[in-house]
Amino acid sequence: MSIVSALVLLAVVWFMTLFVVLPIRLETQGDVGERVEGTHAGAPASSFSMKRKIRTTTLVALPIWALITAVILWGGISVRDIDMFNRMGAASSAE
């Protein structure tokens, strides 16, 4: 795995984690009862902190990325292992 591949994998894992973390413990303006004129009731209330969400996302995404990277570098699991329909054919042994 090259450096660029590792960084792309980190970006994908980080953004996927961000989309999972964003709605956790979110208080909307409709929940709080302090709806600002011209906004939707589902908009975040003033207690929303993007800095806290980014920090949580990073703390969750880094171990997930490290685990996936370790599995890729270890090489114990390959694409052939997850080929359920045997579309890749039999593995040829290079001797």
**27-75, pLDDT tens digit by residue?**
888 888 888 888 888 888 877 889 999 999 999 999 999 999 998 898 8
Residues near 41 by beta carbon (within 8 Å), at least 6 away in sequence: 28, 29, 30, 35
Q: What is the pLDDT of residue 35?
A: 82
User: Is there a domain that residue 91 lies in?
Assistant: no
Does residue 95 carry a pLDDT above 50?
Answer: no
User: Is there a domain that residue 21 lies in?
Assistant: yes
Structural domain span for residue 42:
3-78
Q: What is the pLDDT of residue 58?
A: 97
**Cα separation of 73 and 3, whole Å?**
12
**Cα separation of 80 and 38, whole Å?**
54
Q: What is the pLDDT of residue 63?
A: 98
For the chain, the 3-state helix, strand and coil shares in percent, each to the nearest 5, are 55, 0, 45
User: Is there a domain that residue 95 lies in?
Assistant: no
Tally of domains in the chain: 1
Q: What is the pLDDT of residue 94?
A: 57
Task: Output the pTM of the full model.
Answer: 0.74
